A and B are shown apart, each in its own frame.
Chain A
């Protein structure tokens, strides 16, 4: 009764971690995950201004959100000029041609 999820029934269970004492691993796991999340978040702010602009555009228009939208759009333009949007833009162009979106819009 109440013995938790049996080991191996979760896709995140990795066999060698079960037998190893977890104390050291626990700290390493948190720190490591934080490194991944922190670095990817910073990189996304730099290289994915599309997401920021899209999010800002969906905010309800009012005095409070207007400066947020302006700042997000300004950053999106600036990032475009600096070439930071190259990956997303290139993949977007390639995908549109693969989908045949041009054909559909004709």
Chain B
């Protein structure tokens, strides 16, 4: 069930109404949301609901053992972590590793949607309990934390210490908050159904499918187009997730903050997929590799290693490793340059940093988008060849959408909040009619159906 569809609309209306009716019945509300989440997930593949349940039970059990305080707590923590990584490894990497070993699997393994997201939620829960950052939760609450449908399949990764306390209180929803939620849902629908979909169908997919048949200019435009597509696709999902959770009385963290406005790659990672980058920072870069309070070479190794593993998190492919290594390498270079740059040298203007950073990110997206390493290299060679081509594929319409996707990075940072304040003074029915008009325009603009979100595959 995809967010911007009729089936989800009906599903959400029912959940919204029942959630409100059960606002004061804490446990029944959690049970309702849990059942709704399992239904939502089960409509993809009912078999994996059992995996979700088992994963929740596993993490709950080990967190209890760790919190009990008897025996080797570190060993219990490692057992819990290995269990999580074992499941993730089997589904995501077994085929890749078998291929590497020259023993391809007889049958392809079906990847459960969102497994990376709910496994990371489980991991952060047991590690947080071990470190005393969160109290052990009830099984019911932890299962909802890991299964909650707004963030289940593509994030944002919500920390236990952020969500679990919200389950202990009656849900709150102010009028302006509700307006902000609705704006996020509508804006997310526009970004996904119009911008990302059209750029994908009319430019990115045909060009990436056959780079040799297109001119260098078109290849470059497709690379820019994919940068905008992946932003509009992924940020749309998390905008909608935040808005939907908000309407049910839950506050989710911000996950994107105008990422292509970043003036350095370090800045980019403070703005892109913030819930994953902060997860990698806290649990890998600092937790496992020791962070920046150590010798410079070890810090650089930590940075590079974190980004390579972050690349692998996206899937078992050399292209994801290269994508992570590119980001890790540039982050290391930035850090070394910060240390080595003579103080008297002039600093780069912010706009130049933004342009350079965007092009490094766009270069990385080419590896991210191509399934094979050779495909990415052929794509880059095609750009560098400077060859002309026949009739251009990129229409003025697609170029306008790319420009719109970029423009929203340079608009006011708090546009959603300002619009929410303005909208909240209107009566509900009037806002409903405005929303309807927007959705009707989206329906007319989007043409065919809605493609699955890019991050569902992770």
Contact = CB atoms under 8 A, between A and B. Distances in A.
A13 B246 CA distance: 10
Given A40-B433, A99-B198, A99-B398, 16 more contacts: A2-B133, A2-B161, A12-B243, A13-B251, A26-B173, A35-B427, A36-B428, A37-B16, A40-B432, A43-B433, A51-B6, A55-B6, A87-B441, A87-B444, A91-B441, A96-B447
Size category of the B interface is 35 or more
Contacts of A30: 20, 23, 173, 178
Main secondary structure of the interface of B (DSSP, over half): helix
B440 A47 contact: yes
B457 interface: no
B444 A99 contact: no
B429 A52 contact: no
Nearest to A17: B174
Contact of B449 (A1, A29, A54): A54
Main secondary structure of the interface of A (DSSP, over half): helix
Given A1-B132, A5-B162, A92-B447, A33 B435 contact: no
Interface of A: 1-5, 9-14, 16-17, 20, 22, 25-26, 28-41, 43-44, 47-48, 50-52, 54-55, 87-92, 94-96, 98-100
Contacts of B348: none
A25 B163 CA distance: 21
Interface in B185-207: 198, 202
15 contacts: A4-B166, A5-B162, A5-B252, A9-B253, A10-B252, A11-B417, A12-B180, A26-B173, A30-B23, A34-B428, A35-B429, A52-B6, A54-B6, A91-B440, A100-B395
Contacts of B182: 33, 36
B380 interface: no
Interface string B419-446: 0110010011101110111011101110
B13 A41 contact: yes
Contacts of B132: 1
Contact of A35 (B395, B420, B432): B432
A29 B134 CA distance: 30
B135 interface: yes
B176 A33 contact: no
Contacts of B23: 30
Interface string B162-177: 1111100011111111
A98 B396 contact: yes
A11 B12 CA distance: 21
B20 A44 contact: no
Most chain B beta-carbon neighbours within 10 Å: one of A13, A20, A90: A13
A14 B440 CA distance: 29
A55 B432 contact: no
Most chain A beta-carbon neighbours within 10 Å: one of B134, B180, B243, B416: B180
Most chain A beta-carbon neighbours within 10 Å: one of B246, B429, B440: B440
